[in-house]
Each structure stands twice: as structure tokens, then as C-alpha cells.
Amino acid sequence: MDCQTAFSPDDDLEVALGGAAYANRTLILTVLNEAYAEEDGLLDLFLRSMREGDGTAQLIDHVLFVAMDRQAFRRCRSLAGLRCYLLRQRDGDDLSSEQLYMSDGFIRIMWRRIRFLGDVLKHGYSFILTDMDVMWLRNPFPKLDVGDGEDLLISSDKFNGEARDYVGNELNTGFFFVASNARTAALFDEWHAARRASPGMKEQDVLNRMKRRGAFRRLGVRARVLETARFSGFCQDSRDAAQVATVHANCCRTKRAKVADLRAVLRAAGRLNRTAAGLMRWPAHSECVRSWT
């Protein structure tokens, strides 16, 4: 059962979503602000990963870049071939600068994103949500199998080996796939509403609390955790780089550190693609380690 409702033909979000989506109403979403959109920063690295990755270049036309401010929107529009959407903010709510991890601005961005994603589900679109500090080395769609009818496929910081154990695995909201239906729309509504009772908490921590309290089971949401062997991150590197679809600069505090260490990841991935080698060690994420000191 989907949750699509009727929207006006001049609904600008519907136009943007429809333009980016595949025929099955699935698309890729990523959110950026001015700090992420600056030249030689995370936006450029994200695009480089998709242009250089295995089977990823053709996916760019199905990415909707959601700008949190006009500066990010202008930068997005200046780059050829990108689909850009300006998410309108409340007056005076300036989130354009770098928002350090767990700062008030960071938390506001994360919650604003959840409200927007709930709107996307209600428009009847399924999507992959990817943080901009996730490098796409291979097309992840073949690895996102929903043959068992899952509503939510979501990454984790450290995978415990059990994909069905969404309670035991600590979920990471930097990369996930969600199917549009009544169950997921209800989940996102409840998730965003929980903000009022969760001062100072980011949306990821609230979702992990909700799952422990049985929200997924109560709402009938079928979830599976993505293994870090294929959906890797700085918290837990994959041992076999040849199997990795995405690499997330999680466990990292600053934009500068993310950019430095992700550049090293892309250099290493390029060497792997050229040599067709087997096992390869990822470079040390030294700048991200130092970002916490």
C-alpha cells in the first residue's frame, strides 16, 4: 500500500521529484548547504566519486540536490547536469555555514531534513538518502535487494553481523533506502514529532531510541541493516575494498577533515580500479581521528 496523495501540478516539489525519479518513482536525495557546496569541498568530491565510480555516472541524473540556502542552490545550479531544489527555510534560520557535529545548527539541519523526507514519502516517492560525505564507488542499487519486502534498508556505524538485528545494530542515517508506503510515512511522522520530547538530541539518536522502544514493530516497518563490508565507513572499514559500494566519512567531526580523508579514499579507489587488485587496505583516516582533539 503506497501513501501517495494528490498534489497540484504546480507543486514545485512534485516537479523536482518527478524530474529526478526513475519510472518506478525512486530517486536519490542529498542535502547541502553553502559550506558543503563550496568549491573543492564535499559537493565536488561527491560528484567526482559518482563520475569515477563503477556504474555510477549514469545515476547523477537521478540525484536531487536539496539546497538548504540560496548560496548552495546557486552553486548547484552553476554546475552542468545537476538537478537542484531549494528547500525554503523559516525567516532568519540561517544554516549556510559549517555546522559542527552535534552543534545546535547541525541538529536543526538534521531535523529539517527528516521533515522534508517525510514530505517526499507522502508524494509517493521511494528514495536513497545519502549524506554528501558518502563516496559512491559502485552502483549500490544491485546490493539494495528488497526481495523480502523491506521498507527500510539502513547503514550502521559498526555492523554486528546480523542484518535483521536492527535493534542490536546502531543505525546511521547518513545512507539509507526507504520505500514509500503508509508504514514509512507514519514512521517519519512519528520520528519528526519525537523531536519535541528530545531536546539536544540529533535525529539519528532519536531513531535508535524509537527502534529500541518497539516503534518499528508497532508500525509494521520491516527493516534490514546494511553490512559495512559493502556500505563502509570510517567507523568500521571494509576489509575488501573490491566489494565496497559506498564509503561514509562517519566518526569524523569537521568538514576539513572529511574532505582530506575522503580525497585519500578516492585516490585509493582509483588505484584499485586501475590494477584490478584483490584485497586492499584503506588509507588511515588520520585527519578525522585528529578532528576530535
CA-based torsion, 82, 85, 91, 97: positive or negative:
negative
Residue ranges for the chain with pLDDT beneath 50? 92, 94-102
Q: Is position 233 within any domain?
A: no
> CA dihedral in degrees (111, 112, 116, 121; nearest 10)?
10
Q: Is position 248 within any domain?
A: no
Distances from the Cα of 59 to the Cα of 22, 26, 51, 153, 217, angstroms: 10, 12, 9, 19, 33
Place of cell 559542527: 100
Can you spell out the DSSP letters for 214-252? THHHHHT--EEEPPTTTEEETTB--S-GGG-SEEE--S-
pLDDT score, position 241: 84
pLDDT score, position 240: 84
Total tally of structural domains belonging to the chain:
1
Q: Is position 38 within any domain?
A: yes
The closest alpha carbon to 206, from 218, 194, 216, belongs to 194
pLDDT score, position 97: 41
pLDDT score, position 3: 62
Q: Is position 125 within any domain?
A: yes
pLDDT score, position 200: 77
- CA 241 vs. chain centroid, Å, equals 20
Q: Is position 29 within any domain?
A: yes
pLDDT score, position 4: 58
Q: Is position 290 within any domain?
A: no
Q: Identify the CATH number of the domain in which residue 134 sits.
A: 3.90.550
| Domain range enclosing 204 | 12-228
pLDDT score, position 255: 93
Residue 57 neighbours by CB distance under 10 Å:
14
Q: Is position 54 within any domain?
A: yes
* pTM: predicted TM-score of the whole model, two decimal places: 0.92
DSSP class of 136? E
